Amino acid sequence: MLYCAEVSLGTDNCPHPGSLGGMCYRCGKRLEEESGVTFSYICKGLRLGNDEIDRLRNTDMKHLLRHRKLYLILDLDHTLLNSTLLLHLTPEEDYLKSQADSLQDVSKGSLFMLAFMNMMTKLRPFVHTFLKEASEMFEMYIYTMGDRPYALEMAKLLDPSREYFNARVISRDDGTQRHQKGLDVVLGQESAVLILDDTENAWTKHRDNLILMERYHFFASSCRQFGYHCQSLSQLRSDESELEGALASVLKVLKRIHNIFFDELANDLAGRDVRQVLKMVRGEVLKGCKLVFSHVFPTKFPADTHYLWKMAEQLGATCSIELDPSVTHVVSTDARTEKSRWAAKEAKFLVDPRWIETANFLWQRQPEENFPVQQTKPEENFHAKQMKDQ
Amino acid sequence: MFFHIVLERNMQLHPRHFGRNLREHIISKLMKDVEGTCSGRHGFVVAITSVENIGKGLIRDGTGFVTFPVKYQCVVFRPFKGEILEAVVSMVNKMGFFAEAGPVQIFVSNHLIPDDMEFQSGDMPNYTTSDGSVKIQKDSEVRLKIIGTRVDATEIDKNISQSRPKWDPAGSHPSRFFCIGTIKDDFLGVINDPTTI
Strands laid side by side in the A318-320 sheet: A318-320, A290-294, A329-332, A349-351
pLDDT value of residue A103? 87
Residue in A142, A11, A133, A15 with CA at minimum distance from that of residue A74: A142
pLDDT value of residue B194? 57
Chain A residues interacting with chain B (CB cutoff of 8 angstroms):
1-9, 17-18, 20-30, 42-43, 46, 56, 60, 63, 163, 167
Contact A208, A71 (CB under 8 A): no
Torsion of the alpha carbons at A64, A183, A146 and A75, rounded to the nearest 10: -60
Task: Quote the mean pLDDT of chain A.
Answer: 88
* Phi and psi, residue B25, nearest 5°: -65, -40
Q: How many Cβ atoms are within 10 Å of A152's Cβ, its own excluded?
A: 14
pLDDT value of residue A298? 84
Helix residue spans in B144-186 (DSSP H): none
List chain B residues with CB under 8 Å of A42.
93, 95
Reduced to 3 states (helix: H, G, I; strand: E, B; else coil), residue B73 is: strand
The 3-class SS string of A342-386 reads HHHHCCCEEECCHHHHHHHHHCCCCCHHHCCCCCCCCCCCHHHHH
> Residues A315-329: what's their mean pLDDT?
92
Lowest mean pLDDT: which of A308-322, B109-123, B146-160?
A: B146-160
Residue in B3, B5, B14 with CA at minimum distance from that of residue B158: B14
Q: What is the DSSP string of A127-196?
A: HHHHHHHHTTTEEEEEE-SS-HHHHHHHHHHH-TTSSSSTT-EE-TTT-SSSS---GGGS-S-GGGEEEE
Is the pLDDT at B100 greater than 50? The verdict is yes
What's the pLDDT band for A377 if we cut at 50, 70, 90? low
Give the type of residue at B137.
Q
List chain A residues with CB under 8 Å of B82.
3-7
Q: Give the whole-angstrom CA distance, residue A249 versus residue A211.
A: 12
List chain B residues with CB under 8 Å of A23.
148, 150, 180
- Return the residue in A3, A9, A13, A20 with the most chain B beta carbons within 10 A, the one to mutate for interface testing: A20
Tell me what percent of the residues of chain A surpass a pLDDT of 70.
93
Residue in A255, A313, A246 with CA at minimum distance from that of residue A286: A313
Q: Give the whole-angstrom CA distance, residue A74 versus residue A16.
A: 32
Lowest mean pLDDT: which of A66-80, A135-149, B167-181?
A: B167-181
Fold classification of B2-77 (topology level)? Dna Ligase; domain 1 (3.30.1490)
Rounded-to-5 percentages of helix, strand, coil across chain B: 10, 45, 40
Q: Give the distance from residue B81's alpha carbon to the nearest chain A alpha carbon, in angstroms.
A: 7
pLDDT value of residue B157? 37
pLDDT value of residue A31? 86
> Residues A115-135: what's their mean pLDDT?
95
Exposed, middle or buried by CB within 10 Å (0-12, 13-18, 19+), for B143?
middle
CB contact under 8 A, B148 and A23: yes
Task: Quote the mean pLDDT of chain B.
Answer: 84
Q: What is the pLDDT of residues A210-243, one digit of tens each?
A: 999 999 999 999 998 888 888 889 989 899 998 9
CB contact under 8 A, A3 and B82: yes
Is the pLDDT at A204 greater than 60? The verdict is yes
User: Is B185 near chain A, with CB under 8 Å?
Assistant: yes
Lowest mean pLDDT: which of A10-14, A159-163, B69-73, B186-190?
A: A10-14
ipTM of the complex: 0.76
Exposed, middle or buried by CB within 10 Å (0-12, 13-18, 19+), for A382?
middle
Is the pLDDT at A21 greater than 90? The verdict is no
Q: Give the whole-angstrom CA distance, residue A334 versus residue A296.
A: 9
Exposed, middle or buried by CB within 10 Å (0-12, 13-18, 19+), for B190?
buried
CB contact under 8 A, A4 and B81: yes
Sketch the domain layout of chain B as residue ranges. Answer: 2-77, 84-196
Q: How many Cβ atoms are within 10 Å of A108's Cβ, its own excluded?
A: 8
Contact B183, B87 (CB under 8 A): no
Torsion of the alpha carbons at B116, B117, B119 and B123, rounded to the nearest 10: 140
Q: What is the pLDDT of residues A259-278, one digit of tens each?
A: 999 998 888 888 899 999 99
Is the pLDDT at B165 greater than 50? The verdict is no
User: Is B82 near chain A, with CB under 8 Å?
Assistant: yes
Q: Give the whole-angstrom CA distance, residue A140 versus residue B145.
A: 35
Is the pLDDT at B56 greater than 90? The verdict is yes
Q: Give the distance from residue A20's alpha carbon to the nearest chain B alpha carbon, in angstroms.
A: 8
Give the type of residue at A43.
C
Q: Select from 1.10.10.10, 3.30.360.10, 3.40.50.1000, 2.40.50.140 the CATH code of B84-196.
A: 2.40.50.140
> Residues A285-313: what's their mean pLDDT?
89
Give the type of residue at A338.
E
> Residues B26-33: what's their mean pLDDT?
92
What's the pLDDT band for A51 if we cut at 50, 70, 90? very high
